[in-house]
Structure 1
């Protein structure tokens, strides 16, 4: 089995950015994507989500962003990514589902359903979409209605005429309530009171939010999303839900789930037809477990005080779309950083090889 200089896992925004920069540096690599088609996680989002609803998709390096329009996001962004792959002739292989990455004889070996790839370095760009977080509450297995996670969201029309409990304090929960409250009966429950932004979200505010995520990553703590530290803001399309009181009626979390609804801690019962869990995602990094990259604090420590992409414990591995780079703008920057990190490792290997050969001949 020949040894590649690098393997990129994932062909979303971060993976394509990394591939672009690796190719620009002349680094031999392949991109392994588990999806049937281009588009990363965007192709799996609900049909009702348009390019006017998304917060924005940054342009890829030497590319153009998808236009803001009424087009479905799950069509517009994948089309943009597919054209980008073609235009830059990126070495994407799909569908390839990676199961694990191991260290064998000093090389990294990527194990997948379509074969194995041996590589000197790895860029992991698997994001979070395939790792939804669903908390467990007593009695949830007894619920007779529907329980859906963000990943399963079918669009607002599915819920018309049903009483929907939205669970979660992030941007997705706010968006769901904005879409559902005007057409059906909604409730909202969160673990903590939501934090609303009352000022403009300036570049300086964004940088401060990212810095908070970087601090956690620098300490090897599990990352929080950038959105979780920016606070919540209502967009124009959510003002009608606000007028209807959807956000003011937020409740603390229920104590247990019963067959026809939820029971609050004060003993009151609330009947609901659907529980919509907008409880977020976790980094999809289970396939990296054989490399033992996690710190004692449960996260993966990155270099440059959390602003880089190189894994401190194993510099052969770059993480993009993780922690502070888990946004489209951050993913682009991380792709460039990861390619440079790969280049540093390959340079160190090349410089070490002659001395090792000389030592063996002495």
Structure 2
């Protein structure tokens, strides 16, 4: 499983190159201080000429607020909290979200109990195989957005949903009948603007993540487009402050993308700072 393989890989990498990693350290805030950056943590204060921020998105699950959410008597959880479909057996589950995770979990949960699927937009399914060319095109679209200072957007917004054998089987079982977003959450379910009500025991929010970069707020990196304008070979360098690189933001927000982006960020930052000359 990725949850085991990825940490093990990085553990071996760290040992092989004898990297001086400090853990556990929680970074509270990063502030500009003349020629250096002031990095305040729970293990002391650091001064740095440059910073590669690789905090990604996993620590910031996003759940939109809907009227009545606090009154719901059932269980609400995010994709990050999901463990197994078996815990929902005998309960009606409302799955919220139009991404790949939502579809996969909808398929799993619908095998053990009843479900309702709701999304903000009509899902776009892709029948053709996901080829390397399609992958590169999707990355290029995300990269273009961050270079223009726009929020990165979701992966599915540029790739669409692949129609896998599992999805075809779910369609045949009648599971993929998507409904538009509800307008209100009731103590015992959800309600649409036309008055339709669905009773529910669980609301599973498969609504993605946001970049974990609040600690960088004092640097004022965001542009008027709502995102952080990026530059550099793989769009990891912050245009407003070239001393800062973001790995795990935009096109580098995947393990594969982060490997290439991390290498590019390290080379560009050391060159910018004149290290090794």
TM norm structure 2? 0.95
Q: Is 1:259 aligned to 2:187, yes or no? A: yes
Aligned residue among 106, 112, 118 for 1:177: 106
Residue in 2 aligned with 1:325?
A: 252
Structure 2 segments unaligned to the other structure (5+ residues):
none
Q: Distance in 2 between matches of 1:114 and 1:237?
A: 47
Provide the aligned length of Structure 1 versus Structure 2: 277
Aligned equivalents of 1:88 and 1:236: distance in 2? 42
1:302 to 230, 241, 259: 230
**CA separation in 2, counterparts of 1:133 and 1:213?**
19
Aligned to 2:121: 192
Rounded Cα–Cα distance in structure 2 between residues aligned with 1:161 and 1:75: 31
SS in 1 for 2:80: helix
Task: Name the SS for the 1:123 alignment partner.
Answer: strand
Deviation at 1:237, TM superposition (A): 4.6
Alignment of 1:195-344 (within 5 A): 195-247=124-176, 249-304=177-232, 307-344=234-271
Is the partner of 2:256 in helix, strand or coil?
Answer: helix
Distance 2:219 2:255 in 1: 27
Q: Which has the higher strand share?
A: 2
Task: Compare relative contact order (CA 8 Å, sep 6+) and give the higher one, 1 or 2.
Answer: 2
Pairing 1:28-107 to 2, within 5 Å after superposition? 72-107=1-36
Native 8 Å contact 2:147 2:235 kept in 1:
no
Q: Contact 1:189–1:254 (CA<8 Å) still a contact in 2?
A: yes
Gap runs ≥5 in structure 1 = 1-71, 352-362
Return the match for 1:140 from 56, 69, 79: 69
CA contact (8 A) 1:325 1:334 kept: yes
Q: Answer whether contact 1:196 1:231 (CA < 8 A) is retained.
A: yes
**Larger mean Cα displacement after TM superposition, 207-216 or 187-196:** 207-216
CA–CA separation in structure 1 for the residues paired with 2:102 and 2:61: 14
Output the CA distance in 2 between the equivalents of 1:240 and 1:272.
Answer: 24
Partner of 2:95: 166
User: Equivalent residue of 2:30, what SS?
Assistant: strand
Take 2:276 and 2:254, find their aligned partners in 1: how far apart are those partners? Answer: 34
- TM-score, normalised via structure 1 length: 0.73
Question: Helix, strand or coil: the match of 2:245?
Answer: strand
